[in-house]
Structure 1
Amino acid sequence: MAAKFEPKEPVQLNPPNHSPISTEELAKSNGVDGRPCYVGIKGIIFDVSGKDMYLPGGSYSAFAGKDASRALGLMSTKAEDVRPDWYDLADKEKQTLNDWFTFFSKRYNIVGTVEGATNTEPSSSS
């Protein structure tokens, strides 16, 4: 079952970096003007730089520079859903969020954690 999340092409990932990154710094990491492009999930920040879908105009650009946990669980790209809180999601949506976390963790480097994040859980370690 876990194989469904494996990338089509092998990915060489760096060891995870769990340095804290402020929400202000995360917001600047939106891929605009050559800046890196980061997406947070459950307080963990992934570097999605170089992936057009997260850059301005891309289908997932709403996630850039934000913790998009709720939107990923809801399978939504609506701006109002792009926020870190997810605890009140239905079990099926929580599973979808966990699936996205697994998907990201097999493809993108972990570059930090959201400073002061309260939307993490002990089992979300990588």
Structure 2
Amino acid sequence: MADSESSVRRRKPETSSPKTKKASAVTEPEPVDSEEEIVQKKPVAPKKRIEEEDAYSPYVDVLRVLTFLFLASCALSYLISSGETFFWGMKNPPNYLKADWWKTKLRGPLYLTPEELSAYDGTDPTKPIYLAINGTIYDVSVNPRTYGPGGSYQYFAGADASRSYVTGCFAEDRTADMRGVEEMFLPLDDPSIDRHWSKAELAALKAKELEEAKQKVFDGLEHWVKFFANSQKYNFVGYVKRPEGWPGTEPVRPLCDVAQKQRMKRKIPGQEG
């Protein structure tokens, strides 16, 4: 009986009322996602995802790579060539980048007399510096320190000094008259040595020596003719106009002292070398 009453009197478990639940919700709120987290968790619509993928262009990345390679190439070429590049400036640009070269091509060659050519010797800063060799005129204005006043080769400017290119007498031989230059390559006559040949042998020997001397003059002048003709710095201008009958209208120049002093005597047969 006592057990029965005990079981009857046993209290039923308390059930939480709505008010209790409400109080619990107020005192202990559940964590709420922030606005940023909500945006991140929000699924992207398939249409929008496709539009974003279509908007991406690989050419942007390609352009970035090409730009980097271009700048790196410019920097490397600048370091290797010490600034002698297309973008960093060139001391000796190719002819197609020179305005004077195009002017000459469009204008055609100039024909100047020796007197007219002398006005382009560098003394007038408003005029270019011209020189001529073997009748052909070149513009050497890019190198005023060499061909301008006070330069080591100032005697070449304003003239056709072909003779001086071979003889080395810059001041004395400012002329294109090459007559007699071959003498600088001819041996000196000496009776004590020349007696080792017969008269006929000596005549044949002198003829051979003269032929070889003329070839040396030709080769010496041709070297400088090709130098200016093939130069990337000096532009072709035109030609020198000579008076009719030149150079026969002028006296033959004597060999200058510098060239004369380098002449040697013939060597006795068997002592060559």
Normalising by the smaller structure, the TM-score range is 0.7 to 0.9
- 2:219 maps to 95
Matched, 1:115 2:241: yes
User: What is the DSSP-based 3-state SS (H/G/I as helix, E as strand, rest coil) of the residue aligned with 1:82?
Assistant: coil
| Alignment partners' CA distance in 2, 1:33 and 1:41 | 21
| Alignment partners' CA distance in 1, 2:120 and 2:93 | 25
User: What is the DSSP-based 3-state SS (H/G/I as helix, E as strand, rest coil) of the residue aligned with 1:81?
Assistant: coil
| TM-score, normalisation: structure 2 | 0.37
Residues 88, 94 of structure 1: alpha-carbon distance in 2 compared, 3 angstrom cutoff:
farther
Moved over 4 A (4+): none
Consecutive unaligned residues of structure 2, counting only runs of 5 or more, are 1-91, 183-213, 248-273
Matched, 1:48 2:140: yes
* Residue identity in the other structure for 2:226: T
Higher relative contact order (CA 8 A, sep 6+): 1
* Residue identity in the other structure for 1:42: N
* Residue identity in the other structure for 1:54: Y
- Partners of 1:46 and 1:111 within 8 A in 2: yes
* Residue identity in the other structure for 2:128: P
Residues 11, 89 of structure 1: alpha-carbon distance in 2 compared, 3 angstrom cutoff:
farther
User: What is the DSSP-based 3-state SS (H/G/I as helix, E as strand, rest coil) of the residue aligned with 1:31?
Assistant: coil
**Identical pairs, percent:** 37
User: What is the DSSP-based 3-state SS (H/G/I as helix, E as strand, rest coil) of the residue aligned with 1:32?
Assistant: coil
- 1:12 maps to 95
1:31 CA drift (Å): 1.1
| Residue 160 of structure 2, aligned match among 44, 64, 67 | 67
Residues 10, 93 of structure 1: alpha-carbon distance in 2 compared, 3 angstrom cutoff:
farther
| TM-score, normalisation: structure 1 | 0.75
User: Which entry has the higher C-alpha Rg, 1 or 2?
Assistant: 2
| Alignment partners' CA distance in 2, 1:40 and 1:115 | 11
User: What is the DSSP-based 3-state SS (H/G/I as helix, E as strand, rest coil) of the residue aligned with 1:116?
Assistant: coil
1:11 CA drift (Å): 4.2
What do you get for the CA RMSD once the two structures are aligned?
A: 2.2
Hey, which of these two has a bigger chunk of strand by percent?
Answer: 1
| Alignment partners' CA distance in 2, 1:46 and 1:98 | 15
Consecutive unaligned residues of structure 1, counting only runs of 5 or more, are 1-8, 120-126
* Residue identity in the other structure for 1:93: V
